[in-house]
Amino acid sequence: MTQKNKPKNSKKTLFRLFSYLSKGRNTLPLIVILMILNIACTLTTSYLLRPLINDYILPKKFNEFPYILALLAGIYLLGVVVVYFQNRLLVHLGQNTITRLRQELFEKMERLPIRFFDSKRHGDLMSRYTNDMDRISDVLTDSLADLFVSVLMLISIFAIMLYISPLLTLIIFITLPLMYLAVRKIVKQSRYYFQKQQHSIGNLNGYIEEMIGGSSVIKVFNHEEKVKQDFNKLNDQLNKEAEKAQLYSGMMMPLMQNFNTLNFVFITVIGGFLALTQRLDVGGLASFIQYSRRFGGPINQLATIYNNLQSALASAERVFELLDSEPEAEDAVNAHSIPSIKGDVVFENVVFGYNPDKIILKNLSFQIPAGHKVALVGPTGAGKTTLFNLLTRFFDIDSGNIKIDGHSIYQLKKKDLREHITLVLQDTSLFSGTIKENIRYGKPGVSDEEVIQAAKTATAHTFIINLPDGYNTFLENDGSNLSQGQRQLLNIARAAITNPQILLLDEATSNIDSQSEAQIQQGLNRLMQGRTTLIIAHRLSTVRNVDKILVIQEGEIIEEGTHQELLAKKGLYESLYNEQYFNMGNYK
C-alpha cells in the first residue's frame, strides 16, 4: 500500500462526524436514556430465566406461572415502545444532522474560488455531494447509534455473566484476542478498498457527465467505440475495487459467527459439567447460555457497523476534503464600497500565471477610458480570457495593479465590484425556471416592466411573446427547448437588467448562424451604449467599429490601434484578418 493510498486518520474523521451529532444536544440525552432503558428491558428478560427455572419450574410451582409470564410480557411490550420512540428520535437527529452537513457543504462550495472548480471534475464533485452524503447519512441515522448500543450491551452482558459464573466468562474471553486480531486485519484492508471504490465512483461519474455533455461531438467524430472502451476501463476498475471491498467486508460476519459457535460449544460442555457437579445452578446455566448468545449479537453487530463505517469514513473524508479546501480570498480589511462608477479601467504592469511556473500575462499595461469599447484579439491561449478573470477577481494577480476609476480593485469589496461588471459568455448558462425568472436572475426583485424592457434592449422581446407561454415559458435542461441564438439573447437580457457600467463580452456571437448573429449583435450594440466594454471575438468583423483593438500574443500587447490602423501596420492583426476572410471566401 503506497503512502498516498493509505487510509487517513479514521479516529479524527469519526470524532468530526460525532461533532455534527452533538449539535442536537437537546435530543441526544433523551436518546441515550431510551437506549439504556431498551438494553435494560432486553437483558432483564434473559436474567429472569434463572428465578423462573430455579424457583418455579424445578419446584413445580406452576400456579404462579401467570405472574412471571405477565411480568415478562410487560417488559417485552415496554421494550417495543422504547425502541419505537428511540428510532423516531434517531431518524430525526440523523436527518437534521445530514441536512446541516449538506447545507454547510453547499455554502462552502459557493465560497470556493473558480480555480478550484477548474481543477476538479464536476462529476466527482457531484458524487461527493450525492453518493458520499448518502453513505454518511446511513451511518448518522443507524450505525453510530448501533455502535453505542452494542458497546453498552457488551459491557452489561459481560458484567452479568461475570456475576453468574466467572469461570464460564473467562472461557469466552480466551477467544477474543484471536477474534480481535482477525477483525483488525480485515477492517484495515476493507477500508482501504472502500476508499478506492469511492474514488473510482467519482471518476466514473465525472466521465459519464463529460460524455453526456459532449454526446454530439462523440457522434460526429464516430468515437462511440473509443468512448465505450474508456468507459469499460473505468467500470472494470470500479468493479475490481468494489469486489475487493465487499470481499473483505463479507468475511467479517462468517468469522464472527464461527467464533460465537465455538464459544457456545465450550459453554455448553463446561457449563453442563458445572451444573452436574452443583457448582452452578440450572437456572444460572440457562441464563448464562442466553447471555452468551446475546453476547455474540453485539459482536456481530459491531462487525457490521465496522463494515459500514469503513465505507462511510472514506466518504466522510472526501466530503471533509471539500469543507477544508481553501475558500476564495476574503475582502481586504480596509475594503470599501463604491456606489457608482464611470468605468475607467487601468491595468498597471500586471503579472499573472495560473501556475507559478507558467506565467500567462507579462507586465501587461493599458487603459480604457470610461464608455470606450476595446477589443481583445489574439491567438488561442494568448491571455484574453484571463484578463476577464482578473478584472472580475475570479483570480488575483501575482503583481501589479488593476484600477477602476482610480480605485485598486483589491481595495474594493468583491460583491460591490461585481455589481458594476457583467459578463456575457459564449456558453450560455440558463437555470430551471421561467424566462422571466432567468432574466430577473441578474437583479432579483425588479418589476415585470423592467424585465420586458431588458428583453427589448436585447432584441429578445419579439421571440419571447411569440412563445405559447411568453415570459412564463419554462426552460428545461439549460434552455434546451430554445435555439442557441435565443438562449444568447436571454443571456444579453439578463446582463441588460443589471445596468452595468463595465461590460465583458467573451466571444458572445461565436458559433451562431449569420441571421442570429445579426440580431444578437444588434442587442449587444444597444447594451454597449455608454458603457465601458471589453470584447473577445474570433469574428473580427464584429470589432471593426470599436475605439481600440489590443492584439495580445503570449501574454503581451504587441499591437494596438483601430481596425484601419492595425491593417496599415501589416502585423499580426492584418495576418489574422486576412486569414479569416480568405477562409470565409470574403478575401479582397
Domains for the chain: give ranges and CATH numbers. 11-203+238-323 (1.20.1560.10), 336-418+534-588 (3.40.50.300)
> In this predicted structure, what is the pLDDT of residue 402?
95
Residue type at 562 in one-letter notation:
T
CA torsion angle 395 397 398 402 (round to 10): -170
Q: From 48, 93, 90, 85, select the one nearest 70 (Cα to Cα).
A: 48
Q: What is the pTM of this model?
A: 0.66
Distance CA 93, CA 99 (A): 10
Q: Would strands 373-377 and 548-553 be described as parallel, antiparallel, or unpaired?
A: parallel
The mean pLDDT value for 476-484 works out to 78
Q: Is 332 helix (H, G, I), strand (E, B) or coil?
A: coil
Percent of residues, the chain, with pLDDT higher than 90:
17
Q: ∠ at Cα 95 (92, 101), nearest 5°?
A: 140
Residue 445 confidence (pLDDT) above 90: no
211-224 burial: b if 16+ Cβ within 10 Å, else e: beeeeeebeeeeee
CB 168 within 8 A of CB 338: no
Q: Which residue has the higher pLDDT, 103 or 537?
A: 103
Distance CA 70, CA 76 (A): 10
Residue 453 confidence (pLDDT) above 90: yes
Q: Cα 208 from chain centroid?
A: 16
Q: From 541, 583, 576, 534, select the one nearest 558 (Cα to Cα).
A: 576
Q: List, for residues 34-92, the tens digit of each pLDDT value.
A: 988 988 888 887 777 777 777 777 777 777 777 778 888 888 899 899 989 988 888 88
Residue whose grid cell is 452595468: 500
Q: How many CB atoms lie within 10 A of CB 375?
A: 24
Checking phi first, is residue 176 left (phi over 0); if not, alpha (psi -120 to 50) or beta? alpha
CB 132 within 8 A of CB 318: yes
Residues 6+ apart with CB under 8 A from 454: 439, 442, 493, 494, 496, 497
CB 343 within 8 A of CB 501: yes
Q: What are phi and psi of 383, to 5 degrees?
A: 115, 15
Q: Which residue has the higher pLDDT, 64 or 98?
A: 98
Q: Grid coordinates representing 296?
A: 455474540
Distance CA 133, CA 146 (A): 19
When mean pLDDT is compared over 430-434, 460-464, 517-521, 584-588, the highest value belongs to 460-464
> In this predicted structure, what is the pLDDT of residue 1?
38
Residue whose grid cell is 460465537: 260
Residues 6+ apart with CB under 8 A from 68: 48, 51, 52, 56
Q: From 501, 346, 494, 493, select the one nearest 417 (Cα to Cα).
A: 501
Distance CA 449, CA 447 (A): 5
Distance CA 355, CA 335 (A): 27
pLDDT class for 144, splitting at 50, 70, 90?
confident
Residue 3 confidence (pLDDT) above 70: no
- Give the mean pLDDT of the chain: 82
What burial class does residue 469 get, using C-beta atoms within 10 Å of its C-beta: 0-12 exposed, 13-18 middle, 19+ buried? exposed
Residue 7 confidence (pLDDT) above 60: no
Secondary structure element (H or E) that encloses residue 168, with its range: helix 166-174
Q: List, for residues 110-123, the tens digit of each pLDDT value.
A: 888 888 887 777 77
Q: List, for residues 220-259, the tens digit of each pLDDT value.
A: 556 778 888 888 888 888 888 888 888 877 777 777 777 7
Q: List, for residues 542-574, the tens digit of each pLDDT value.
A: 788 889 999 999 889 999 999 999 999 999 988
DSSP 8-state assignment for residue 55 = I
CB 113 within 8 A of CB 354: no
What burial class does residue 16 get, using C-beta atoms within 10 Å of its C-beta: 0-12 exposed, 13-18 middle, 19+ buried? middle
The mean pLDDT value for 366-386 works out to 90
